[in-house]
A and B are shown apart, each in its own frame.
Chain A
């Protein structure tokens, strides 16, 4: 992109602008209003509505300003009589074929056609004639398509194609009878449609609407409140439409730098759980096997007595807590503070252990900081080579995958390395399908080529990297032919990757659980870090290491120190200085200085009888942990179990006391997204039950123990976090409330935050190259268990489904719990699509419906982990990070004929 500035005149006004823009872009940037229906700045212009026409000196006819590029000295007139008349004509034509339903239309007040008709004084319909369009049709469990109101601007088609990459809809017919169609007049449900709802949000008129909001209110009747999506780590900005204290619909926040207004199905439609009948309303205490409603005072007294009893009689180490990557920073902070100050225990962990602990350990050792090094926008706009490995990005961070498409459109090269032929591989320039669990060999292979063919960045290595000579010696001995033998990848393909990655101006590696959830998880991460260090592909705009976070606030829960080895801000537990600092800050003595237990270890220690009390805030380990049957046993065994949640989940059955919490639409605080951006969540609706915000509950228990921390609201806690966590110093309540969305580290009130990490220097000083030898996965298929089972996520569901499971439309789309199996395997075993089979591992068995797939390697079975896959997985851990190897274990399958209509399996 050349950056030359030019001068143009719009309506006589001199404007300086970039030369590669269109007239409309320049006009809008300069607050010159030109009406436009088909143009949206996030899409490529298609010039179909002709409303944006303007006159350009020298052109005989008016031109569409949305497609017409500016040039030096051009003179544009946006409002001549001729133009106004043309626009009137255009609007009249549209209106003549439009039902004038504004008084009963949901879109009224927010409709562009209505707006322009008003502005241009279009009243009566000038062209009588047959109206062409058909009546409304319901397309799906979520979307209403009202053909009569459609003005055929094409925005919905384009958002679906350019942004979401699905192409679920297109024009049908031509001329007068044109309409938008999802193919063969079928319902959207029978197409590839993902129900992201972006077509609804981008429609300029009322032709696409949310079914849930039909007849519920018009634009001006809603309170529109900006907050953050409660689901995944992208942290999309959303606008919540509230009427009579009820969430009626959700739209993407166009001003959010995270998602530019785009969403996925969960953020757009996944809010039914808020009013689910399973919401907890009052504290419950189990008495003789039954839950009894009690008031808060009683519940807190009870908890106090019990915790005190166990602490006094069995010691602090008999108590453990699981905090939640769903809760806010403030709540996670106070949770760990309660454990450390009051209970004197470091046995605190959360589900980050199960997703990116190996990234945290790996990158902490090699470069000193494990967060995503670049912003999402950088990847879209600056990365020239994007390696996507071990992350099914279109399903796990859908809105980030929209950015990958944009990057591709810009010309970035996309490399996908994944044993499953995932959706994004369709747009890959290079797709590599290695055998499961052979990443170390593959990445060592790339490093070998980089070294042998001198693709490394000597200068960078000299200045910023240590251990190069030893590493070089090791890698020179690496036998490249292993790549073919072990990973089943052609060296030629690997060479292409090595060249593209090292030669591109800005390369980035994106990964998630396919890299981390292995017994070699940390070593896999070392390998990726090696590649960045060898080539200097880090510490630049669009260049770096990008582990994609799973949960909405998993980054924050880690930052806040809900980890057994770190105090807030990644201060090591077993460091005298840390303890002294925190004793000082918290005005407390004898803070625990021994590394506590991790998630899986906590459950093991319950079974060993060492942990007697467990406090679970907003987690559902009966889905998320490996070897669930084991966990179930532990939950039965633990003597005192506190469950604090918004919903009555499966683990509640095991609880001794249940505490009702507020969900993110009902409270305030901050979430930190995948790119380290700290964002405010806003209270949208009141909850008039006894449920309380998590921070309040913990604070009350602490008070009962005699601790007065002086928090009146969450902002008091954030103030303390500013004091305690260095990287959050400048992220003050005032700035957060002002809706600044700052990326940490941010060291002062003036600091704008940090978009790109590792510029100039690594947190640990020099980057460390790590020598990594290949190890086999723990449990590979054998004679008795001949299939390899791999697990993962799917787009529509979230984690243990406590929330998405309550969304009717999602239930309808996803249908019955399923597994995926290779077509050939199915044929060999005489299994048909849709039949139920039993999958058995050494730990347990599940019964699931079969979906056939060509995208899986032969001999593998894929089960979304939401569907009890973890009954089958094992608990062997990565020795560095203690992450379990969710991605690989061995299973056998059995035909399952009885119970044909039974829904599912028991845990």
Chain B
């Protein structure tokens, strides 16, 4: 993040008069995650208390401070999915894509998040890629889906 980026973002925030929550959303949209260093700089420039923005950042699950790939993969390892083979999918991701929870592939294509329940246990095991759900998955089906993504 260059000085110039910071200045531009700060200008934009001021112009749009964004609330703390909106600032976070704006940054996440722009970078696909919330870079902490950038956020700290913005706090300093705009004299926003760091504690407040950090409170919001950590309150909402939607924000990620980890750099994210183009596709955010969420694999459920909640009880229902675990029983039905969710962990096999996780093993596959590790083997085939070198992905671990919170990690991003070197080509910045995929990021993996392991979650506790996606609220769709009826079609366990469940995975998500960005905002689409994939139910009744197994490791091979899911591998194919991922390989087909550009």
CB-defined contacts of B40 to chain A, threshold 8 Å: 184
Q: Which residues of B contact A172 (CB under 8 A)?
A: 54-55, 58
Q: Is B36 touching A181 in the complex (CB atoms < 8 A)?
A: no
Chain A count of residues within 8 A CB distance of the other chain: 17
Query: A62: CB under 8 A from chain B?
Result: no
The answer to the question of B31 belonging to the interface, with a C-beta cut-off of 8 Å to chain A, is no
Query: In the complex the two chains form, what is the Cα distance from A167 to B54 in whole Å?
Result: 12
- Cα of A182 to Cα of B49 in the assembled complex, Å: 9
B94 within 8 A of A: no
State the interface size on chain B (CB cutoff 8 A).
13
Question: Does chain A have a CB within 8 A of B92?
Answer: no
CA of A171 to CA of B55, assembled, Å? 5
Contact B36 A173 (CB under 8 A): no
Give A183 to B55 CA distance when docked, in angstroms: 7
CB <8 Å contact, A173 and B59: yes
Query: Could you say which residues of chain B place their CB within 8 Å of the CB of A174?
Result: 58-59
A171→B51 CA distance, assembly (Å) = 8
A191 in contact with B51 (CB, 8 Å): yes
Contact B59 A182 (CB under 8 A): no
With a cutoff of 8 Å between Cβ atoms, the chain A residues found around residue B141 in the complex are: none
Q: Is A904 an interface residue (CB 8 A)?
A: no
Q: Does B137 contact A (CB under 8 A)?
A: no
Query: B49 and A184: CB pair below 8 A?
Result: no
Chain A residues whose C-beta falls within 8 Å of the C-beta of B51 in the assembled complex: 167-170, 181-183, 191
- In-complex Cβ contact of A170 among B36, B47, B52 (8 A): B52
CA–CA, A342 to B80, complex, Å?
95
**Which residues 542-583 of A sit at the B interface, judged by CB distance below 8 A?**
none
Does A724 sit at the interface, judged by CB under 8 A? Answer: no
Most A Cβ at <10 Å: residue of B43, B51, B52, B53: B51
- Bound-state CA distance A168–B43 (Å) is 12
Could you tell me the distance in whole angstroms from the C-beta of A130 to the nearest C-beta in chain B? 15
- Say which residue of B36, B52, B58, B59 sits within 8 Å of A167 (CB atoms): B52
How far is it, in angstroms, between the C-alpha of A186 and the C-alpha of B49 when the chains are bound? Answer: 13
Q: Mark B26-66, 1 if CB is under 8 A from A, else 0.
A: 00000000001000100100010111111100110000000
**B115 CB to closest chain A CB, in angstroms?**
15
B73 to chain A, nearest CB (A): 23
**Measured between alpha carbons, how far is A170 from B55 in the docked complex, in Å?**
6
- A50-76 interface (Cβ within 8 A of B): none
Given the known interface contacts A184-B36, A184-B40, the answer about A168 and B49 at a Cβ–Cβ threshold of 8 Å is yes
Query: How near does chain A come to B64, taking the closest CB pair, in angstroms?
Result: 14
Residue of A nearest to B61 (CB): A174
A184 proximity list for chain B (CB < 8 A): 36, 40, 50, 54
CB proximity of B105 to chain A, nearest CB, Å? 26
Q: In the complex, A426→B49 CA distance in Å?
A: 13
Contact partners of A169 in chain B: CB under 8 A:
51
Cβ of A166 under 8 Å from chain B: yes
Smallest CB gap from B49: residue in A: A167
Contact with B along A175-192 (1 / 0, CB 8 A): 000000111101000011
CA distance A182 to B53 in the complex (A): 10
When the two chains form their complex, are residues B54 and A183 in contact, meaning their CB atoms are under 8 A apart? yes
A192 and B55 contacting across the interface, CB-CB below 8 Å: no
Q: How far is the CB of A149 from chain B (nearest CB, A)?
A: 20
In the complex, residue of chain B having the shortest beta-carbon distance to the beta carbon of A183: B50
A173–B63 Cα distance when bound, in Å, is 12
B39, closest chain A residue (CB)? A184
Residues of B within 8 A of A170 (CB): 49, 51-52, 54-55
Smallest CB separation, A595 vs chain B (Å): 49
* Shortest Cβ gap from B129 to chain A (Å): 26
Chain A residues with CB under 8 Å of B36's CB are 184
Provide the bound-state CA to CA distance between A642 and B48, in Å: 51
Tell me how far the C-beta of B21 lies from the nearest C-beta in chain A, rounded to whole angstroms. 14
Q: Smallest CB–CB gap between B114 and chain A, Å? A: 17
Enumerate A182-220 residues with CB–CB distance to B below 8 Å. Answer: 182-184, 186, 191-192
CB distance B58 to A183 under 8 Å? no
Query: Within the assembled complex, what's the spacing in Å between the Cα atoms of A426 and B53?
Result: 18
A167 to B51, CA, bound (A): 7
Contacting pair A183 B59 (CB below 8 A): no
**Please, which residues of chain B bring their CB within 8 A of the CB of A173?**
58-59
What CA separation (Å) do A192 and B53 show in the bound complex? Answer: 14
* B4 → chain A closest CB, angstroms: 16
Nearest-CB residue, chain A, relative to B45: A854
Please report which residues of chain A, range 116-168, place their CB below 8 angstroms from some CB of chain B when the two chains form the complex: 166-168
CA distance A192 to B47 in the complex (A): 10
**Complex Cα–Cα for A173 and B59 (A):** 5
Expressed in whole angstroms, the Cα–Cα distance for A168 and B51 within the complex equals: 6
- Closest residue on chain A to residue B36 by CB atoms: A184
Which A residues lie within 8 Å of B49 (CB)? 166-168, 170, 183, 191-192
Of the candidates A171, A186, A426, the one whose C-beta lies within 8 Å of that of B50 is A186
Q: In the complex, what residue of chain B is closest to A188 when comparing beta carbons?
A: B51
Please give the distance in Å from B59's CB to the nearest CB on chain A. 5
> Among B40, B43, B47, B50, which residue has the most Cβ atoms of chain A within 10 A?
B50
22 interchain pairs, CB-CB under 8 A? A166-B49, A167-B49, A167-B51, A167-B52, A168-B49, A169-B51, A170-B49, A170-B51, A170-B52, A172-B55, A173-B59, A174-B58, A174-B59, A181-B51, A181-B54, A182-B50, A182-B51, A183-B54, A184-B40, A191-B49, A191-B51, A426-B47
- Given A172-B55, A173-B59, A183-B52, 16 other A-B residues pairs in contact with their CB atoms under 8 A: A166-B49, A168-B49, A170-B49, A170-B54, A172-B54, A172-B58, A173-B58, A181-B54, A181-B58, A183-B50, A183-B53, A184-B36, A184-B50, A184-B54, A186-B50, A191-B50
In the complex, the 3 A-B pairs of residues with the closest C-beta atoms, listed nearest first: A183-B50, A167-B49, A170-B55
